[in-house]
Amino acid sequence: MADEILIKPDLKFVQRIMAAGGQDAKKCYQCDTCCVVCNLTPENHPFPRKEMLQAQWGLKEVIKSPDIWLCHQCSDCTVHCPRGAKPGEVLGVLRQMCIENYAIPPQLARMVGDLRFLPLLIAFPVLLLLAALKVTGRLAIPEGTIVFSKMFPWWMVDIIFMGAAAFAVAVLAQGVMRYWRDINTSPWAVKLQGSVLANLIPVLQDILLHNRFKKCETTYARSLNHLLVVFGFITLGLVTAWAFVREWVFHWPGPYPFFSPFKMLALLGTALLIYGIYQIIVARQANADKAGFGTYFDWQLIYIVAAVGITGAGSWLFRLLGIASLAYPVYFLHLTSVFILFFFAPYTKLAHLVYRTVAMLYARMSGRGF
């Protein structure tokens, strides 16, 4: 007699999916239309129908499936689903639960993804930065020319933000290693082909150019807007890296001259970030009826990125105008939002950067069709 296969439904898992934004998952009657219309799904074992079934039945192993990360939430399936089960949204919730599952501590991930804890999320960096100013005797608007390092010297910014970045990298690294181990030991695991490095390069190329993302139809513009935000971040990352080298290697003091190429690059990066995120907000609202409005988890990252861009541009503008009473407080808010972006990255949707990369790498090495 063949081995008995036990299915262990977890009702709490189903309730959590529904509470997190996948409340329509139970409407699915397995017609498979979603797999037919999805331009990103592989031919063998396509998604998202099977994930809808697993979500309905409370089979929580689904959050360890790499397939949930091959979906870019373009909503083509949601538009065509005859039952209004919103499979695109349900897969988004499963990805959120995957991030929560691999983050440590998972309780912090749950809190970060819960609107009720938003005040705490903001209070933590605010109190930390205020404490740093208080301890170093800088808790006042500095006199004279506006120079942000009078309030937050570089060494203080570096200590706080390198600490936040190191924390995020450590949490993400352990999460991704556990995820990689799980997908390679799961019931659907297959023997991988080729070296990690040789496969990682085309995967990163695909991600950088959004080749798969661009195949979406319903929300095609989202891939372009997302690309603007990504290149905004890359540009600002390069400027920040140069600022770090400038300070620690060359010991060049003071802010950049106004027409410095790096200042221009920083402005370009900020402009891309703000324009891209603005377009994402507009497109999400315009498509809300057919594609779904998105969950708090989706919107949280959008607003964090918007806060980083707007406060960055605002502090620069108020400094140019010489309004110290606004420039310093807005700069404080800028540092607060950057801290939230970095420190909480393993718990917010930003973690999709690494989990999706790992899942795409696995899919490529396991012959899932790209």
Which positions touch ligand SF4 (CB under 6 A)? 28-34, 38, 40-41, 47-49, 52, 71-77, 81, 83, 85, 87-88, 91, 216
How many angstroms separate the CA atoms of 366 and 42, rounded?
Answer: 12
How many angstroms separate the CA atoms of 113 and 118, rounded?
Answer: 9
- Nearer to ligand SF4 by Cβ, of 34 and 304: the residue is 34
- Nearer to ligand SF4 by Cβ, of 73 and 315: the residue is 73
In the complex, minimum distance from the CB of residue 289 to ligand SF4, in angstroms, rounded to a whole number: 16
In the complex, minimum distance from the CB of residue 46 to ligand SF4, in angstroms, rounded to a whole number: 9
In the complex, minimum distance from the CB of residue 120 to ligand SF4, in angstroms, rounded to a whole number: 32
Q: For residues 90 and 17, is the Cβ–Cβ distance under 8 A?
A: yes
User: By three-state DSSP, how is residue 216 classified?
Assistant: coil
- Nearer to ligand SF4 by Cβ, of 81 and 306: the residue is 81
User: By three-state DSSP, how is residue 252 classified?
Assistant: coil
- Nearer to ligand SF4 by Cβ, of 69 and 343: the residue is 69
Q: For residues 57 and 11, is the Cβ–Cβ distance under 8 A?
A: no
How many angstroms separate the CA atoms of 45 and 91, rounded?
Answer: 16
- Nearer to ligand SF4 by Cβ, of 70 and 335: the residue is 70
Q: For residues 62 and 45, is the Cβ–Cβ distance under 8 A?
A: no
Residues comprising the chain, all counted: 370
Look up residue 310 and give its two tokens.
């707007």
In the complex, minimum distance from the CB of residue 268 to ligand SF4, in angstroms, rounded to a whole number: 31
In the complex, minimum distance from the CB of residue 91 to ligand SF4, in angstroms, rounded to a whole number: 6
Closest CA to 284 of 307, 301, 309: 301
